[in-house]
Structure 1
């Protein structure tokens, strides 16, 4: 080797690779032959946590770094006091997760949740922009959402880095692609627990939701929300517009609430769901979004929304089963739990008849 680079990183993997690497620059003052791997040693009598702290502070040394050619400012700034995660670590996570995350973002309008002062400060939800100097973030045709500034789309890793540099913590996507924005290609059911709902009831609710969808002939896929709840997603064919898809999803939720009223409610609002679960169908309307798989959540602990197989549901501890700290351990499994997504895509005509729903489109 002829060049020496300085790289901050989160940890060494078992196969001797570095995880969450952040390029800090080339070193002209150190010959390559003098570079050796540092080995952590434990000082006698020192707490065992000292070695763990080493990897957690490895990415907090400088206030400005370069990642994939993008200058990251204030990289050492802590964005979540509970976990101690820094802005630099957030950028590194999104770059590390990009191969898994981008397939969920590509071709879809994206909304951004920004936390300029960290998640303890004011959060900003952004769907549109007049202009963008962020590399990799595309401004879409204004006609897609009339009377508004252009919608945003992220299809490349540069867009993820740019978003994180601009203090974006969460990434949300539409239920339609920008190329066919008037025809949703999926439905989302957000299981949102009210006060007093224990986790076992959330797991049961997800299974009941799946059972009903199965009876309607619809395949469903599960992911953690990264927060309190669970998300059940259904791939559909682009046969209907937003109003019909939203109204049909509402009919499904109302059926659940009428059939099992001690578990489910079909009305939003905290007073309506004390001790019960609101299955949010409102995510299925035009312009509504849901946090993307592999997105971090702007909540204490920085949970991550992760795709899971249905047979993994009993093993989940909460909707924030994974956080930014340990979600990379899931990268090996990645999107495999959703491998049957395209094969499961069905039309809604038959399910609508089964549940007695008549679309406005006829």
Structure 2
């Protein structure tokens, strides 16, 4: 039978797909089409982990259970846009995936498994993590392996590392410690051995470093040998060629102890897991450290001190100094230095006379700085003006505070994201760079158009588009009594309807709790320029129709939502005008902020709404009883919601308490 094929467009690439109905997982009746769909859906998350890494593949042309082969070399008939690099003594020609289309093309070749090297372009000779493969013998219970991994986590932390964990998609676990890409494979292997040996000696009855199975004696192999040159591990979120289509899945340490069977993570479950909970390894690179043998006083329990560099470059900071009066401004002095790794960055949200963001990248002992009026672009295809401004001292990476009015740049300066960055590609008129931080992990391009004017673009796609996808609001747990704890903030229950308001490049869209769009029903709320000091954002609130005495009417707000047609909507608006009380912000100008504690999100919200915008009353724990009773008894309101001050939120999850 002749091969059946069709063409599809993935980004800017036109790809031929063949034999889509071929069965690759016979027991699960999964087709090649399912394989391609999985890698396409998961591409943003997978690319965040493997982009720039040399890859090898396990291909199953006729499905699992039949002949397979491990492939390192790029096929000589690969399209020109597939990036590659010749590496190693044998000069293998490795594929380097850089875009969604790369993964789709590989999946079409029945590349079920992706195996990655431990280094990225352009530093192929220097790994950026150390991996420990916990390989159990047959019949070893997974719960026991998880317990051993948790003990090993504590051992690694005693050396100053920050370990991460994932399933292998088989029966084992990979424990990974991110490091700065400064040492070659030989040095990193010796570090891995120096760390692993004491643990194995203290767990002789359970673990071994013997690579040959016949010498392991039924013990768990703590495999450090994968840290050698040209060795690989199964990539995060790669499928395995096993029944059930298991996936090598990054985990949070808190969930490892309760995990009974890693086979729960498979082609069907992992995409929804990532959409709901995110990638447990997303911020891993932000926790990179030096190897412990290079740190001062390196020994277990030693405190990590980042490698610092001191530069005396008054000429580079002359403009910075002239513009500021340091007798009144709390900003760092030009001569003030900071301990950095040489690749520090910070993004500030600057509430000056005009709200803008400041991007600062460490280069040659100072922070090269750009003012970005509209904030970071949330996805590819959007360009932001970035204006080069004066260099700032390194200590500015740690600065957050209020610059007095009347001073240069007077206003509040918030740290929007802080961490380390790396240049991924140099261009004649600019550069590509990747940000690594707890708050933001993304890749951008900076393009110089003329003099001090640049264009900032996002290169990678986020796995979750907070502005254009359906996001479930956080749900509350019912409670009979109002909590007395002082670490709660309280919101009045206005007897309205829950709403998520998306602000996207000047356009406002409103969705109800069930995901139904209701923008047209409340035209008076679509006032982006009057309501928000932001370019993009996702806000959580309650739409209310108030009577003349200020009491909310649930019937009227529901009636408004049910109107159809321009005339009916206009008449309902005139008779029952609506307001929206916004009480939270989930996404803002280029990054989700749901992990920020509530009290920080609240202070930020007060700053990024316009004065004319309606905002819900804030009631702190110290004034709970009086304000709560007055709000409910006099205002005709149904109750209140209590939210932990120091907590982040999870969409769609019950959290906090409501009375």
With the shorter chain as reference, the TM-score category is 0.7 to 0.9
Q: Shift in Å at residue 339 of structure 1?
A: 4.1
1:358 corresponds to: none
Q: Shift in Å at residue 343 of structure 1?
A: 3.0
CA distance 1:197–1:341, shift in 2 (3 Å)? same
Once residues 136 and 261 of structure 1 are traced to their aligned partners in structure 2, the CA distance between those partners, rounded to angstroms, is: 50
Once residues 244 and 80 of structure 2 are traced to their aligned partners in structure 1, the CA distance between those partners, rounded to angstroms, is: 29
SS at match of 1:231: strand
- From 90, 102, 106, the equivalent of 2:35 is 90
SS at match of 1:343: helix
SS at match of 1:82: helix
- Is the contact between residue 65 and residue 71 of structure 1 (CA under 8 Å) also seen in structure 2? yes
Q: CA RMSD in A?
A: 2.1
The within-5 A match list for 1:231-310 is 231-310=174-253
- Is the contact between residue 135 and residue 158 of structure 1 (CA under 8 Å) also seen in structure 2? no
- From 195, 212, 217, the equivalent of 2:155 is 212
Q: Shift in Å at residue 273 of structure 1?
A: 3.3
Q: Does 1:165 align with 2:108?
A: yes
Residues 99-154 of structure 1: CA deviation (Å, up to 9, x unaligned): 111111111111111111211112211122362424653122x3x32432422111
Structure with bigger strand share is 2
Q: Does 1:337 align with 2:298?
A: no
Q: Does 1:127 align with 2:46?
A: no
CA distance 1:274–1:319, shift in 2 (3 Å)? farther
SS at match of 2:257: helix
Q: Structure 1: give runs of 5+ residues left out of the alignment.
A: 1-61, 356-362
1:117 corresponds to: 62
Once residues 237 and 194 of structure 1 are traced to their aligned partners in structure 2, the CA distance between those partners, rounded to angstroms, is: 33
- Is the contact between residue 56 and residue 70 of structure 2 (CA under 8 Å) also seen in structure 1? yes
Q: Does 1:196 align with 2:139?
A: yes
- Is the contact between residue 57 and residue 114 of structure 2 (CA under 8 Å) also seen in structure 1? yes
Residues 209-237 of structure 1: CA deviation (Å, up to 9, x unaligned): 10110101100111111111111111001
Which structure has the higher relative contact order (CA within 8 Å, separation 6+)?
Answer: 1
Once residues 78 and 200 of structure 1 are traced to their aligned partners in structure 2, the CA distance between those partners, rounded to angstroms, is: 33
- From 151, 157, 163, the equivalent of 2:94 is 151
- Is the contact between residue 83 and residue 300 of structure 1 (CA under 8 Å) also seen in structure 2? yes
Structure with bigger helix share is 1
- Is the contact between residue 191 and residue 293 of structure 2 (CA under 8 Å) also seen in structure 1? no
- Is the contact between residue 142 and residue 171 of structure 2 (CA under 8 Å) also seen in structure 1? no
Once residues 136 and 326 of structure 1 are traced to their aligned partners in structure 2, the CA distance between those partners, rounded to angstroms, is: 32
Once residues 61 and 142 of structure 2 are traced to their aligned partners in structure 1, the CA distance between those partners, rounded to angstroms, is: 32
Please, what TM-score do these two structures have when normalized by structure 1? 0.75
1:107 corresponds to: 52
Residues 275-328 of structure 1: CA deviation (Å, up to 9, x unaligned): 321111111111011111111011222100111111011232233331112222
- From 253, 259, 272, the equivalent of 1:316 is 259
The within-5 A match list for 1:12-51 is none
Q: Shift in Å at residue 82 of structure 1?
A: 2.2
Please, what TM-score do these two structures have when normalized by structure 2? 0.42
Residues 2-44 of structure 1: CA deviation (Å, up to 9, x unaligned): xxxxxxxxxxxxxxxxxxxxxxxxxxxxxxxxxxxxxxxxxxx
1:179 corresponds to: 122
- Is the contact between residue 305 and residue 320 of structure 1 (CA under 8 Å) also seen in structure 2? no
Q: Shift in Å at residue 265 of structure 1?
A: 0.8
Q: Shift in Å at residue 78 of structure 1?
A: 1.1
Q: Does 1:76 align with 2:21?
A: yes
Single out whichever of 258-267 and 130-139 deviates more from structure 2: 130-139
CA distance 1:131–1:64, shift in 2 (3 Å)? closer
SS at match of 2:197: helix
2:656 corresponds to: none
Once residues 134 and 116 of structure 1 are traced to their aligned partners in structure 2, the CA distance between those partners, rounded to angstroms, is: 19
Aligned residues: 292
SS at match of 1:262: coil
Q: Shift in Å at residue 332 of structure 1?
A: 1.3
The within-5 A match list for 1:343-354 is 343-350=286-293, 353-354=298-299
- Is the contact between residue 70 and residue 162 of structure 1 (CA under 8 Å) also seen in structure 2? yes
